[in-house]
Chains A and B, each alone.
Chain A
Amino acid sequence: MTTLAAGTDTFSVFGTTATLLVSDPGRLEAARAIADTELAAVDRACSRFRDDSELSGLNAADGAVTRVSELFAELIEAALRAARLTGGDVDPTCGQALAQIGYDRDFALLEAAGDQPFRIVRRTRVPGWHSVQLDRPRRLARLNNGAQLDLGATAKAWAADRCAEIIAAQAGIGVLVSLGGDISVAGPPPAGGWRVRVTDDHAASAQAPGQTVTIGSGGLATSSTVVRAWAVGGRRVHHIVDPATGQPAESCWRTVSVAAGSCVDANTASTAAIVRGEAAVGWLRESRLPARLVREDGTVQATAGWPHDPGA
């Protein structure tokens, strides 16, 4: 084990903040270069707000079979896997639902626009992940039933895993990659592990209300209804859509943090937990996933070995 994680770099990506921690500060520049390359490729593949992204092309294909890149195919596959493992509670076909509740542009622009005019939005199930067809070997994809993809629930976490894995392999160092609070670590961790402050908002300070834990491998992700929220006709809405209604999930949990074998799995579980509400506790326990669930009133519940929070 290395003794210190000394190299830190923070930058903007995907409309959020990214942080790189490396065990060897001398390799920080190389690690950043790898991250920049990988994250740019992911953005080109699956940004919902870029007209030239593959995702926008597929969404605009009107159900036609479309050839996709290997990277985009992997991203779609990861999203379908998340949907399958959560029984459809984390669904990649929420694109249209998100647009209908106002999230139809980059979030910075949405935030700047302020309260949006009232609109009537029908409660209706999203087309569903079974509407997505992917021929992995031939890299062909098609969306049926008018489905519109949004990979927001998995792409960022998947990208964190990919960056961490490549940096650790190529630079031969221990690394932590955080993309907007979706954290993936790879390579040898520092002594005692990577220290992570778990809280509502990834942009909060390292002393913000919450809990500090250490991790040595895998991923840790947090989903919350208090961040990436906006107002429509005076009503507050957030970005975690319940596929069963096409509306922001009405959850008893304000924030859920999950540790898993990878960041994309952690984020899959934390997002599903928000959607599932009370039932999430039993599901996380059965799945042996350590999690910290925070209710609207701030009370905390933990599962599957998540450390006791003396401050809770």
Chain B
Amino acid sequence: MRRDDQRFAAAARDYGLRKVSKITWRVGAAGVVCSALIAAAFGHHVAAHQPSTGNGQHSSTGGGGGSGSGGSSSSSGSSSGSGGSSSSSSSGSQGQGTILVPAQPPSPASGGGQVTSGAS
């Protein structure tokens, strides 16, 4: 009888541990999923705003920049407003992440031009 009680107690303990373990795993998984959902839902509101009061930032697309500043930034170009007064979205009207290359490079021509490209 006493041995049965011990077995029962051990089985009950194992059952409880399995339950706790399962619940813990599910809560953890749910947390991960929720975190991902929250990140996806609000990620675009925190588009890499940096105070920018002294140090320059260079994006990877600007690599090789020679303006004398370093660092890097992948900001979307607009940033979230503080105080809830302004948030932001980022897509540019051009929408591209790089400078658009021409369909064809210029071709050589002789004589004058129909129009002049120079600084103004």
Given the complex, which residues of A lie within 8 Å of B62, measured CB to CB? 85-89, 272, 283
Complex interface residues of chain A between 121 and 145 (CB less than 8 A to chain B): 125, 127-138, 140-142, 144-145
Q: Are B77 and A129 closer than 8 Å at their CB atoms?
A: yes
Q: A207-B112, A244-B68, A307-B105 are in contact. Are A201 and B78 (CB under 8 A)?
A: no
Contact for A181 among B48, B92, B111, B117, CB less than 8 A? B117
Q: When chains A and B are docked, how far (Å) is the Cα of A89 from the Cα of B10?
A: 70
Number of chain B interface residues as a range: 35 or more
Enumerate chain B residues within 8 angstroms of A196, measured Cβ to Cβ: 106, 113-117
Shortest CB–CB separation between residue A218 and chain B, in angstroms? 4
**Is chain B's binding surface mostly helix, strand, loop or mixed?**
loop
* Inter-chain contacts of A210 with B (CB < 8 A): 118
Bound-state CA distance A307–B54 (Å) is 40
Instruction: Determine whether B6 belongs to the interface, using a CB cutoff of 8 Å to chain A.
Output: no
Stretch at the interface among A37-45, A50-58, A254-262: A254-262
CB distance from B71 to the nearest CB of A (A): 9
Q: In whole Å, how far is A44's beta carbon from the nearest beta carbon of chain B? A: 19
B102-113 Cβ-contact flags toward A at 8 Å (1 or 0) = 111111111111
Q: Could you say which residues of chain A place their CB within 8 Å of the CB of B85? A: 65, 140, 142
Do residues B115 and A276 form an inter-chain contact, with CB atoms below 8 A?
no
* A142-B81, A283-B65, A304-B105 known; A134-B118 Cβ under 8 A: no
In the complex, are the beta carbons of B89 and A243 less than 8 A apart? no
Chain A residues closer than 8 Å to B52, beta-carbon distance:
127-131, 145
CB pair B114 A206 closer than 8 Å: yes
Contact call A214/B109, Cβ cutoff below 8 A: yes
User: With the chains together, A280 CA to B86 CA distance in Å?
Assistant: 36
C-alpha gap A214/B115 in the complex (Å): 10
A36 contacts partner chain B, Cβ-Cβ < 8 Å = no
Select the residue from B75, B77, B103 with max chain A CB neighbours within 10 A. B77
Please name all residues of chain B whose beta carbon is closer than 8 Å to the beta carbon of A159 when the two chains form the complex: none
Tell me the count of chain A residues lying within 8 A, CB to CB, of chain B: 112
CB atoms of A265 and B100 under 8 A apart = yes
- Chain A residues positioned under 8 Å from B89 (CB to CB): 135-137
Q: Contact check, A260 vs B101: say whether CB atoms are below 8 A apart.
A: yes
Structural contact, B114 and A21, CB atoms closer than 8 A = yes
User: Scoring A residues 11 to 25 as 1 if CB is less than 8 Å from chain B, else 0, what string do you get?
Assistant: 000001101010000
A132 to B79, CA, bound (A): 7
Evaluate contact between A80 and B78: CB separation under 8 angstroms. yes
Q: Contacts A85-B99, A130-B50; is A65 near B112 (CB within 8 Å)?
A: no
A220/B86 in contact, CB under 8 A: no
**A48–B80 Cα gap in the complex (Å)?**
25
| Contact A243 B78, beta carbon cutoff 8 Å | no
For residue A191, CB closer than 8 A to chain B, the reply is no
A214–B113 CA distance with the chains assembled, in angstroms: 8
User: Quick one: which of B41-74 are within 8 Å of A by CB?
Assistant: 48-59, 61-69, 72-73
For B78, give its contact among A134, A195, A265 (CB under 8 Å).
A134
Q: Tell me which residues from 178 to 220 in chain A have a Cβ below 8 Å from any Cβ of chain B.
A: 178-183, 192-208, 210, 212-220
Listed by A's residue number, 7 A-B pairs whose Cβ atoms lie within 8 Å are A85-B98, A142-B81, A195-B114, A200-B119, A205-B112, A213-B106, A268-B99
Residues of B within 8 A of A (CB): 48-59, 61-69, 72-73, 75-81, 85-94, 97-120
**New A-B contacts (11) at CB < 8 Å, excluding given A203-B120, A206-B115, A208-B116:** A88-B58, A88-B59, A141-B86, A195-B113, A196-B114, A197-B116, A200-B118, A202-B117, A214-B108, A242-B68, A307-B108
> Which A residues form the contact surface with B (CB < 8 A)?
5, 8, 16-17, 19, 21, 65, 74, 77-78, 80-81, 83-89, 125, 127-138, 140-142, 144-145, 156, 176, 178-183, 192-208, 210, 212-224, 226-228, 242-245, 255, 257, 259-262, 264-265, 268-269, 272, 275-280, 282-283, 286-290, 304-308
